[in-house]
């Protein structure tokens, strides 16, 4: 525990962040089951947020008991006639029971949980898109990152950059193409529009060795790098471009890399060991590459922002939800195919740590993390495993084809298998978490 606890930072904040994130996701998931069941005429006896001893409860005018339980690691809706909270077994017959309702009503009620998770993610991603807006092709600098005094810095906020190193550009794509052709150097020429006229000024390399962000549970976060750091040297050699850092890491073979970093006017020494990380390839698959876990960018990160309308934001949100789903499925396939290590399966400790770190970086980051988790929870629940919603939907599909429900004996066996699979997965994920902490 003396090795694990310091990696959590503020333990209280970490635990609270995890509880808040899970409570939101579970509440939305279970409310989907509840409200669609109610619309379908199925009576809900209990809506529970959490498991175990009841802390608070109350009964509404429809006769549903709403309760908060002591263990905030899940929740359930118990419908009329259910033998248990998993809606497996029980007595049917009446139209307002889970077993007595039409097949379409039962299937819709089961599917509503994951669907509501996806809706939550869609709304959050869309809201973030509207909040942040989108970067335009007009490279008007709103602010300049801090750099050491040794760097040449003649750029100013308000400059509209239209050329680099004698090459003009009109779009971000053209800018990136130019940057790809530049050699690493301390400073380059920028053609800017300032005070209505064109002028040439000097400034740092357009994609400098500047830390724009640090990912949780990475080599960079463990070493103590923070946003705004400017990397000056790696292995004793100067670096001017983010691409220089990538080359050093790729050639390290996983060995420790000494580096000097400028931070708010002071020079600091670090030693950082790259870690294997699952990275998406050009073909859409995943492969493990050595990474530090930091994000870079060009000097024009803070550029002119254009507002995003509600319909465009919803489309952006839908694409974000699909990206999380497709990336998750790709990750699962890559693990099964042996392309990446099974250690990439994270458990509750990792989830808690990331939730805490996201909470410390800002409300928007934390809300975005909740949206990612909500999509993942919705996807997981659709897997065709007994005890999960996807398993129930398979049972309903069987009933639709055969005209009869699976027997109680078959259900008991299948549910036991499902519980075994989920239990095994949870133990494996938790062991990965513990292995990570003791290794790093």
Q: How high is the pLDDT of residue 147?
A: 87
Confidence of residue 5 (pLDDT cuts 50, 70, 90): very low
Closest CA to 26 of 41, 47, 53: 47
Closest CA to 54 of 34, 36, 75, 39: 75
* Range of weakest confidence among 10-19, 209-218, 233-242: 10-19
Q: How high is the pLDDT of residue 42?
A: 95
**Has residue 253 got a pLDDT over 60?**
yes
Helices within 261-309 (DSSP H only): none
**Has residue 88 got a pLDDT over 80?**
no
Q: How high is the pLDDT of residue 84?
A: 56
Q: How high is the pLDDT of residue 133?
A: 87
Q: How high is the pLDDT of residue 91?
A: 57
Q: What does the pLDDT look like over 414-435, one tens digit per residue?
A: 999 999 999 999 999 999 888 8
**Has residue 83 got a pLDDT over 70?**
no
Closest CA to 109 of 201, 208, 48, 33: 33
**Has residue 196 got a pLDDT over 60?**
yes
CA distances from 279 to 38, 92, 276 (A): 44, 50, 9
Q: What does the pLDDT look like over 48-76, one tens digit per residue?
A: 999 999 999 999 999 999 999 999 889 99
Q: Is 255 exposed, middle or buried (0-12, 13-18, 19+ CB in 10 A)?
A: exposed
Q: What average pLDDT is seen over the chain? A: 89
Contact (Cβ atoms closer than 8 angstroms) between residue 260 and residue 232: yes
**Has residue 9 got a pLDDT over 60?**
no
Q: What does the pLDDT look like over 269-282, one tens digit per residue?
A: 999 999 998 888 87
Confidence of residue 85 (pLDDT cuts 50, 70, 90): low
Q: What is the pTM of this model?
A: 0.82
**Has residue 86 got a pLDDT over 70?**
no
Closest CA to 399 of 28, 14, 92: 92
**Has residue 6 got a pLDDT over 80?**
no
Q: What does the pLDDT look like over 24-55, one tens digit per residue?
A: 999 999 999 999 999 999 999 999 999 999 99
Q: Which residues pair with 51 in a beta bridge?
A: 71
Q: Go through 43-68 and write b for each residue having 16 or more CB atoms within 10 A of its CB, e for each that does not.
A: bbbbbbbbeeeeeeeeeeeeebeebb
**Has residue 383 got a pLDDT over 70?**
yes
Q: How high is the pLDDT of residue 2?
A: 40
Q: How high is the pLDDT of residue 58?
A: 96
CA distances from 198 to 138, 166, 175, 209, 263 (A): 15, 13, 18, 28, 33
Q: What does the pLDDT look like over 297-347, one tens digit per residue?
A: 777 656 667 889 999 999 999 999 999 999 999 999 999 988 888 888 888
Closest CA to 327 of 276, 290, 391, 375: 375
Q: How high is the pLDDT of residue 4?
A: 42
Q: Which residues pair with 232 in a beta bridge?
A: none
Closest CA to 45 of 55, 53, 57: 57
51 Cβ contact partners less than 8 Å away, ≥ 6 residues apart: 69, 70, 71, 73, 74, 75, 76
Q: What does the pLDDT look like over 207-234, one tens digit per residue?
A: 899 998 899 889 999 999 999 999 999 9
């Amino acid at each position: 525990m003396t090795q694990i606890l310091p990696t959590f930072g503020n333990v209280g904040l970490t635990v609270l962040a995890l509880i808040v994130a899970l409570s939101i996701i579970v509440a939305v998931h279970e409310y989907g089951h509840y409200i669609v069941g109610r619309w379908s005429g199925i009576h809900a006896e209990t809506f529970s947020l959490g498991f175990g001893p009841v802390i608070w409860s109350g009964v509404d005018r429809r006769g549903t008991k709403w309760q908060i339980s002591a263990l905030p690691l899940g929740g359930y809706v118990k419908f009329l006639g259910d033998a248990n909270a998993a809606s497996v077994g029980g007595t049917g017959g009446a139209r307002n029971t889970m077993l007595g309702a039409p097949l379409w009503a039962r299937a819709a009620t089961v599917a509503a949980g994951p669907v509501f998770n996806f809706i939550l993610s869609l709304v959050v991603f869309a809201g973030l898109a509207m909040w942040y807006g989108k970067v335009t092709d007009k490279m008007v600098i709103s602010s300049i990152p801090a750099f050491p005094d040794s760097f040449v810095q003649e750029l100013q906020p308000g400059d509209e950059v239209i050329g680099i190193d004698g090459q003009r550009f009109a779009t971000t794509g053209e800018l990136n193409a130019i940057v790809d052709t530049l050699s690493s150097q301390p400073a380059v020429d920028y053609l800017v529009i300032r005070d209505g006229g064109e002028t040439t000024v000097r400034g740092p390399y357009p994609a400098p060795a500047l830390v724009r962000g640090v990912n949780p549970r990475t080599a960079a976060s463990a070493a103590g790098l923070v946003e705004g750091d400017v990397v000056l040297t790696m292995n004793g050699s100067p670096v001017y471009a983010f691409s220089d850092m990538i080359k050093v890491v790729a050639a390290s073979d996983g060995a420790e890399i000494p580096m000097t970093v400028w931070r708010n006017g002071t020079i600091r020494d670090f030693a950082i060991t790259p870690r294997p990380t699952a990275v998406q390839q050009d073909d859409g698959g995943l492969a493990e590459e050595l990474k530090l876990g930091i994000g870079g960018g060009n000097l024009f990160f803070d550029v002119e922002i254009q507002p995003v309308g509600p319909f465009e934001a919803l489309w952006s949100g839908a694409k974000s939800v699909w990206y999380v789903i497709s990336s998750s499925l790709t990750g699962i396939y890559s693990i099964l195919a042996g392309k990446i290590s099974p250690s990439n399966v994270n458990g509750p400790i990792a989830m808690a740590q990331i939730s805490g770190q996201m909470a410390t970086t800002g409300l928007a980051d934390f809300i975005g993390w909740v949206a990612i988790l909500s999509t993942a929870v919705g996807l997981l629940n659709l897997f065709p495993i007994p005890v999960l919603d996807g398993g129930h939907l398979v049972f309903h599909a069987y009933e639709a084809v055969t005209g009869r429900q699976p027997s109680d004996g078959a259900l008991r066996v299948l549910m036991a298998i499902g519980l075994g699979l989920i239990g095994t997965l949870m133990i494996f994920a938790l062991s990965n978490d513990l292995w990570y902490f003791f290794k790093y």
